[in-house]
Chains A and B, each alone.
Chain A
């Protein structure tokens, strides 16, 4: 349907972030929701923390467009609602990848979206956590330059090739900043809940916002091409057992990547459980088979296991790579694998709350090419070998 993109136009005299905050202030004031979840620097802190805020006066210390991703927003929402929804309506101002991870956690039963309004904002990307930790002031200055149209080289590698930086379908309301003439932002409802907020503040959603849509489409196409290119280069370096072993050779088994991953929600990972503790004789036998055994022996297996468990829901948020102390390109490898697996199931994580997780859907006919029976394949081979 090639109709004109419609949405609301909201004034943003003080720039994009200022516009977002004005909108939140208005909505809070009119009681459209009771509190907002947003990265903030509160009580004299110089660090960004997801905080739940109801006092308007504290909004000046919030950063809806945050230079870093200190904690994945979906994890924050899971902390907040994992034990059931509260009575208050909460607007969560998060990145598109955080919305998507939240939608996946919803499907996995780890968040309650009952009283949550998911609001995403066009995302400029985030800086590597390590760069910010080394020199917060310098990093934050570089980020404001970037927002003014500066070079994107300072962004995290996964952000530079992200093609889902705008509305993704899973949110209630999206805030468009891209393509906007100075002094305005766009509010695009994606669900009845989102529409209700705009009705509540009394703003028309019938404006023509094609300037935003055109810009998003153009940039998406650009980023898709960049992603294809980057993934092709990565494939040459990381695909195949030997190459994977090389990529993960520096892994020290700290499992930081798993701990910060919004999708890895298990209370106790299999790899930290007693299942992975073996008797001495067992280690010794394995060492003797190969002449030497790297310890702990499951370094690569851990990553493969994690991939198997979460890659269909991987939203390429990059939290894993940010937390890796040995600078392994974890997020780049995982999003490459994620993209491929998701394509096989025609699944886009976070696209819709109603789209079921592929592994929970029974299809009578599926992947028949890998479904050869024992009689047809192995039995024949065994007979020949005998």
Chain B
């Protein structure tokens, strides 16, 4: 049973207190967390080395401006972190980072992971005019009751993997009725215990799983089914679902699983010479000029679905509201099930497509 550390502070302040303790006590050299960047709901991931700057830290603010996985991969791509860094990340971000590390896109060395039982985030487009701040009271109310907070992104409302895998510390939010006065941090690993040693708080033992959490899991599962049904995603017409695509490829640029240096679709591989257009024109009487959303989207799904953690950023940045989160999640689940694989569950678990299994899909051969 993991150790549980109780602090008499509200969750957000508790997070800051922990980060301050780590930084001031020189247990870590830097802290990676969301920092407030403007007065109207903007936050950005930052590497903080001065404890005073932590006043601006918003470790639990319900907005995902980009995937922490992508940023941490970039921080550690050229060389691993040379000094200990505490990173506050959401469960899906930690899973996505784990997948990136499996693909040699960074290193976990010297990183201490602090996560939380995740209630989800609001859509990016809400991060204007203080719209998110207005929602915070009802957000924290949903946290206490273990309900799906109204207006969070559909990808979050449908997420069943809201409990972090492999975090060194977990800030328990869901079901904590006193979340504005008191918080509990579970120390899941030896590393977590070592780093937390010496912090002023009450230490006990406990289990982060609870009935409330089990209840929320069922609610999320039901919500996922409902959203899939509403979108008709079980049996969708790929032509219809992707037809609005304008070819900006924002979904790939923001996706933590899309790490290629130059995407095939930017490489010229998809470009045609005039002969192609004229031949198609003769055959059909018309031809669509780029973008070719179906080819692009299918290839992307093919490449990322094994590692898709359902973070929903693809849908969040789509300028024409294609429900990409649902398409990616549905496809990802099917592919992952076929290989009995859950992305980001375990760093030691090999990627199915790069792990040789002699009898793999024998029937299909």
Residues of A within 8 A of B (CB): 35, 37, 40, 42-47, 49-55, 57-58, 70-71, 75-76, 79-88, 129-130, 132-134, 246, 249-250, 252-256, 259-260, 267-268, 274, 277-281, 283-284, 287-288, 290-296, 299, 322-327
Contacts and interface: CB of A to CB of B under 8 A. Distances in A.
B48 interface: yes
A256 B77 contact: no
Contacts of B286: 40, 42, 51-55, 58
B354 interface: no
A327 B125 contact: yes
B246 A71 contact: yes
Given A133-B320, A246-B38, A277 B281 contact: no
Nearest to B78: A279
Interface stretch (B201-209, B272-280, B332-340): B272-280
Given A81-B274, A250-B38, A278-B78, A322 B289 contact: no
Contacts of A52: 277, 281, 286-289
A288 B281 CA distance: 60
B318 A268 contact: no
A256 B314 CA distance: 12
Given A35-B281, A322-B319, A280 B246 contact: no
28 contacts: A58-B285, A75-B290, A79-B272, A80-B274, A82-B271, A83-B274, A84-B274, A86-B278, A88-B278, A129-B320, A133-B244, A133-B320, A250-B127, A255-B253, A259-B253, A267-B262, A267-B268, A278-B78, A280-B75, A280-B78, A284-B29, A291-B53, A292-B49, A292-B53, A294-B44, A296-B74, A326-B128, A327-B128
Nearest to B31: A292
Interface in B55-105: 56, 65-66, 71, 74-83
Given A256-B248, A326-B127, A50 B319 contact: no
Interface of B: 29-30, 32, 35, 37-38, 42, 44-50, 52-53, 56, 65-66, 71, 74-83, 124-125, 127-128, 239, 243-244, 246-250, 253-254, 261-262, 266-268, 271-275, 277-278, 281, 285-291, 316-321
Q: Which 3 A-B pairs have the closest CB atoms?
A: A291-B50, A86-B274, A55-B285
Contacts of B248: 256, 259-260, 323
A274 B261 CA distance: 8
B291 A71 contact: yes
Given A53-B285, A326-B125, A288 B278 contact: no
B244 A83 contact: no
Contacts of A295: 32, 44-47, 71, 74-75
Contacts of B49: 284, 287-288, 291-292
